[in-house]
Structures are given as C-alpha cells and as structure tokens.
Chains A and B, each alone.
Chain A
C-alpha cells in the first residue's frame, strides 16, 4: 500500500500554559484538528505515534491512546528530541506500506512551561546531568553558543549572517496566524538584542511554547476531495553519527545526503522549499550545507542572499525561532506540517508559488556537546 500525508492539525501555541493546559489537552486539540482536516473518523485510526520529550511522563503512548479514546494495532513512542518527528514519519510510512496499519496519527507536543523546560534540559541525559550541568546552567544555549562560535571561525561568518536567518523567518511568520512572534524584526534590533550566551542573542534562541502538532497518514485515495495527497518520496535517519568525537559543524545528515537524493531521484536544486530544524541559526546553515543546498559551502552568501532575500523559502511558517518550539519534538513535526500545507497549496499568505517538492529535516538530542540524532525527508505533491 502507498502511504501519504492527508491531513494536518495544530493546537494553539501558548507561551505560558495555565493550570489545566497540560500536554494531553494540547495533543487532543491537535489530534481533533488533524482528523477533521483529513476527514477521518477517530474510529478509523489503527496506528499512533507520539513524541513528548519533556511532559507526557509518567504516561506512555498507550496511556495517551486510551485517554484519546483510540484503539490501535500499531504504536510508537519516540524520544529522539528534534529528530523524533522525521523518525516517526519514516516508521509510519513503512507501517502503512507493510499493511501493519491503514490510518496512522503522528503526534508531537510538549507543555512544560519555561521553568519545566529549563529543569528538563539540565537533566536531558546522563552525560548532560553528570558532566555538563555541574558546571552551571549551560543547557542547550551554552553548548550551541560554543558550536556557533566554532562555525563562525570555520566559515568566516559574522553575527549579522545569523541575523538574516532570524529576520527572514520572522518575515515568514507574519503570514502565519499561529506563530508566537509575528512583528517584523530588523537587523538593527537583531544586532542590539541582549546576549543569552555569546555569540547567541535573544533572537538566536527559540521561544519555548506549549502546544502540539498532528498529521494523518493513509492511502492517498483517502485524501479529502479537491486536495492533493503528499507522498513521502524518501526518508533517512542517522543516530550517533560521529560518537560525539567531531566538532559538531556537520550533522548526521552528512552521512546519508548523497544516497538520500539519489534514492529519491531528485537533486537539491529541484526542491521548492525547505523546513529545516532551527533550534539555532547555526544549525539551519549546517543542515542546509549537509543536504548539499549551499553552493561551495559559502554559508555567509547563502544566508544573506538565498535566506535573507527569500530567494529560496526556508522555514516558511516562521520556524521554531518565530513560531515557537513546543519542547523539542513538536518542532520537528511543525516543519513537516508546514511542508504539507505548502505542497497542498493551503499556506495562505505565505504560500510558495507552485510548490511541488519540499525537503524537511529534524535534528537534536544534544547528548554531550551537540545533537546526535538527525533525519531528512523529501515530500512531494501527488
């Protein structure tokens, strides 16, 4: 059986969740929206995948299935941070293609609140808990500050080069009513912003929100009338690609990029837009380079021209940097959802003309110095 994405749904994104706004509630809202969007009755769902890195515990996937009133034959709970959504997507495609399930809901969300997120990020792994957090509140910001400083030296980048990424994504966010921040951002404001961890300023760090995303996979003939299904043309993942022995300037995507494009029968120049996991601007450039989208590895030129001048659409919903990051995992799924909306020509004010092919990535699970999990998928309008 052929698998395709036939519907997407998103809950509200909330900067400061109130009492009762648990991750279960946000996931419910996203699931209801996705099923409505796909025209699927909840009773037809026979597969379920979820990631909620920080806030679903102590519940597990089966608890959530129960609370959502579902009963399934195929189940997955993923814990691989910002790479979880692409990973779940790959498993869900194979789940449908193998006949293990016919309608799969893929869900991601978190609702930690700021304090909960800060606490969770200090204990995200034994390596972090034992060897990083005793130094102080290093968290992800401290580690990606060091990585960004290294990237600046290695590629001759200046602070304003990262500003192009943040500013362009804020421009895209203006067309997304669900984005947390939509007010235009200028280079002057970006360069004058308070430092969080040098060289990272406020606008280089994602705003943590509470919220959830959901997508529905099924045979393409289940897509609502008048709408194009979206096929997953290829998906690849890599975990612990370098044993944390490198410098973090490349991601696991670099290990499979050539095969990824060749298996799909397309090249980087064929894609119309990209949803790149943007926990930090430096990682946007690193993943684009790993994918082969940056000519001559000239990151500065690509940041200013292709991204800054919006010659190539990157993170058209505003990305995590402007739309918000629910924990970590949902950040991977909102990029996929956006690509689906674009390919179905339903992205409203931010629609990319004649979008037919998109590349999406996930990146994360900062084990010691940088992320050890990464994935990418090519989505195609059918």
Chain B
C-alpha cells in the first residue's frame, strides 16, 4: 500500500479530482498534475454483509471520506472507526483505503 491517495489537480485553477478527469469542469483546462492527499474525515460507513453468489461473504467496511482537499471518495475502512473520525488515506490497486491516524493498513 502506498501512503496517501493519488489525485489529479488542474494546473490552471488548482482544483483536485478523484477519479481522473480529462477536461477540468471548472476552467476547461486539459492540463493536470499528480498530487496526493493524506488525510480525511469519515462521513458515512456501511458494512457489506451480503454478496450475490456468496453464502458467507467476508464482511467489507466501506466509508465515504471527505479528503483534506475536499473530494468525497469511497474508501475501504481498515480500522474500527465511526462517522466524524479522522483517517489517514492509503492507496492500493488504484483504490482508496482509510485507517486510524498514525497506524498502518
């Protein structure tokens, strides 16, 4: 896992995006640079308990996390946390994961 979540930042207006955009909806620029966000706050949590075709699926916790840069992202939750709690962000296989600050996934 890589620390932080890779985002795409518009070179012209500075707005950050996740997932990637190809034209900035704010200023229409086509130029983006890569950046990383490292912190966020949990806004909602769910636990996936039923999966089609699986009798006893492994429980998967997913959170909507507001990053410190403002994006609302979907993140796999790897710590026992609640709504409103701060998290550190990690990235694996191009997806976001969230953990208790100062811990590793």
Chain A interface residues toward B at CB < 8 A: 114-115, 117-118, 126-127, 130-139, 141-143, 145-146, 149-150, 153, 194-200, 202, 208, 243, 245, 247, 368-369
Min CB distance B41 to A, Å, is 14
Q: With the chains together, A2 CA to B54 CA distance in Å?
A: 51
Q: Counting CB contacts under 8 A, is B93 at the interface?
A: yes
- Residue contact A135 to B52, C-beta cutoff 8 Å: no
Q: With the chains together, A138 CA to B76 CA distance in Å?
A: 9
One of A117, A127, A141, A149 near B48 (C-beta < 8 A): A141
- Residue contact A150 to B19, C-beta cutoff 8 Å: no
- Residue contact B95 to A149, C-beta cutoff 8 Å: no
Q: Counting CB contacts under 8 A, is B29 at the interface?
A: no
Top 9 closest A-B pairs, CB basis? Answer: A136-B60, A134-B95, A145-B46, A134-B93, A135-B76, A118-B52, A149-B44, A196-B50, A137-B51
Q: With the chains together, A153 CA to B58 CA distance in Å?
A: 28
Known contacts A118-B51, A136-B76; A149/B96 CB under 8 A = no
What 0/1 pattern do residues 76 to 92 of B give for CB contact below 8 A with A? 10000000000000001
Contacts of B54 in A (CB 8 A): 137
Q: With the chains together, A134 CA to B60 CA distance in Å?
A: 11
- Residue contact B72 to A142, C-beta cutoff 8 Å: no
Q: Counting CB contacts under 8 A, is B39 at the interface?
A: no
Min CB distance A59 to B, Å, is 25
Closest to B15 in A: A245
One of A114, A145, A195, A198 near B52 (C-beta < 8 A): A114
Min CB distance B55 to A, Å, is 13
Min CB distance B48 to A, Å, is 5
Min CB distance B58 to A, Å, is 8
Closest to B25 in A: A243
Known contacts A142-B62, A369-B74; A131/B95 CB under 8 A = yes
Known contacts A136-B58, A137-B48, A145-B48, then 20 further A-B pairs from the complex at CB < 8 Å, ordered by chain A residue: A115-B53, A117-B52, A118-B53, A126-B19, A131-B18, A132-B74, A135-B60, A135-B74, A137-B54, A138-B60, A138-B74, A145-B46, A149-B46, A150-B43, A150-B44, A153-B44, A196-B48, A198-B45, A202-B50, A243-B21
